[in-house]
């Protein structure tokens, strides 16, 4: 297993754990939750693909040996549909060679079963850090300011000025919300389609699938950044076209 340097967890990032063995799966989900992640579980490759089609995840941890659709086959489909989703494979000592093949096929790292929480923390944090680096801008531009909105991508903090220096809205964002808000803020006044926003998140999907993925994220983001939720101002919906940031 590579890269065990200490990397802070990306709090609130969503992780999908895929393993047909309930004790291992539940232990991983429990550990990830304790580390500050939002962890879901799937008991098969088929269930994993279904969940990926309905929810956004920042990283997937998957067992290589499962009945029915094994981890390798799931990886192939995920790489095709969600090419930027980092995958960490689970393997036993007896299948270590398979893990090496998986790494060469695009997995970012592997975990030996049973995984220690220190190892789990290291590989998941590293995978997420690499993903955020790949999707984001250079560190020197980590702070964006457009109109009344200031976004610190590194701290995942948004501040909205509401008319006076002592009247501001502050909110902590998830990594996906940071990506979406930054993408919109860099294009003020420009209508951005759901497909384009999905590409920013690492998804290559149809227009219909993009709407299903993006809408819940925008809804949650609005609740955090709109000074008056009942009167949408900053992130506007443009019917049949997408969304526009209007500072």
pLDDT of residue 2: 45
Nearest to 25 by CA among 55, 54, 66: 66
Q: What CATH number did the domain enclosing 101 receive? A: 3.40.50.2300
233 is a domain residue:
yes
**Mean pLDDT in residue range 232-242:** 87
**Mean pLDDT in residue range 87-94:** 80
pLDDT of residue 152: 84
7 is a domain residue:
no
Let me know whether 126 and 185 are in one domain: no
pLDDT band at 6 (very low <50, low <70, confident <90, very high): very low
pLDDT of residue 135: 60
**Mean pLDDT in residue range 225-235:** 76
**CA 231, CA 238: separation in Å to the nearest integer?**
15
Let me know whether 153 and 212 are in one domain: yes
pLDDT of residue 71: 85
**CA 44, CA 67: separation in Å to the nearest integer?**
8
Let me know whether 178 and 131 are in one domain: no
Let me know whether 130 and 20 are in one domain: yes
66 is a domain residue:
yes
Let me know whether 128 and 173 are in one domain: no
**CA 214, CA 78: separation in Å to the nearest integer?**
18
Helix/strand number for the chain, H first, E second: 8, 11
Q: How far is CA 13 from CA 9, 10, 128, 132, 239, in A?
A: 9, 6, 8, 11, 30
pLDDT of residue 149: 86
The model's pLDDT over 197-209, given as tens digits with 9 standing for 90+, comes to: 998 888 888 889 9
Q: Do the beta carbons of residue 32 and residue 39 sit within 8 Å? A: yes
pLDDT of residue 128: 83
- Residue range of the domain that includes 57: 14-135
- Which residues touch 20 (CB under 8 Å, ≥6 apart)? 43, 44, 63, 66, 67
Higher pLDDT, residue 219 or 83: 219
Could you identify the residue written with the tokens 């709109």?
A: 226
Q: What CATH number did the domain enclosing 213 receive? A: 1.10.10.10
pLDDT of residue 218: 93
The residue out of 111, 135, 159 marking a domain boundary is 135
Nearest to 75 by CA among 64, 67, 13, 66: 64
Q: Provide the domain count of the chain.
A: 2
The residue out of 135, 160, 190 marking a domain boundary is 135
pLDDT band at 215 (very low <50, low <70, confident <90, very high): very high
Could you identify the residue written with the tokens 């297993």?
A: 1
Longest dimension (CA), the chain: 63
Nearest to 47 by CA among 66, 24, 23, 26: 66
pLDDT of residue 134: 62
Cβ count within 10 A of residue 190: 12
5 is a domain residue:
no
The residue out of 82, 100, 135 marking a domain boundary is 135
pLDDT of residue 34: 78
Higher pLDDT, residue 132 or 219: 219
2 is a domain residue:
no
**CA 124, CA 127: separation in Å to the nearest integer?**
5
Highest mean pLDDT among 34-38, 88-92, 112-116, 241-245: 241-245
Let me know whether 125 and 144 are in one domain: no
Q: What is the mean pLDDT of the chain?
A: 82
Q: Is 85 helix (H, G, I), strand (E, B) or coil?
A: coil
**Mean pLDDT in residue range 47-58:** 89
């Amino acid at each position: 297993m590579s890269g065990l340097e200490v990397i802070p967890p990306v709090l609130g990032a969503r992780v999908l754990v895929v393993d047909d063995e309930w004790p291992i799966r539940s232990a991983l989900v429990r550990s990830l939750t304790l580390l500050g992640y939002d962890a879901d579980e799937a008991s098969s490759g088929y269930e994993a693909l279904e969940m990926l089609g309905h929810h956004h995840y920042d990283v997937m941890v998957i067992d290589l040996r499962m009945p029915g659709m094994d981890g390798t086959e799931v990886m192939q489909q995920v790489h095709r549909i969600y090419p930027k989703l980092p995958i960490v494979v689970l393997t036993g000592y007896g299948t270590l060679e398979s893990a090496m093949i998986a790494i060469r096929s695009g997995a970012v790292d592997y975990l030996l079963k049973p995984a220690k929480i220190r190892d789990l923390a290291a590989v998941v944090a590293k995978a997420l850090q690499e993903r955020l680096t790949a999707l984001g801008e250079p560190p020197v531009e980590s702070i964006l300011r457009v109109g009344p909105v200031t976004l610190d991508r590194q701290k995942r903090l948004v501040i909205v000025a509401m008319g006076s220096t002592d009247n501001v809205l502050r909110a902590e964002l998830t990594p996906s919300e940071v990506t979406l808000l930054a993408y919109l803020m860099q294009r003020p006044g420009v209508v951005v389609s759901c497909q384009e926003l999905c590409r920013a998140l690492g998804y290559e999907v149809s227009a219909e699938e993009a709407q299903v993925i993006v809408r819940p994220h925008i809804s949650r983001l609005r609740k955090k950044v709109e000074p008056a939720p009942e009167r949408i101002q900053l992130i506007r919906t443009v019917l049949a076209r997408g969304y526009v940031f209007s500072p």
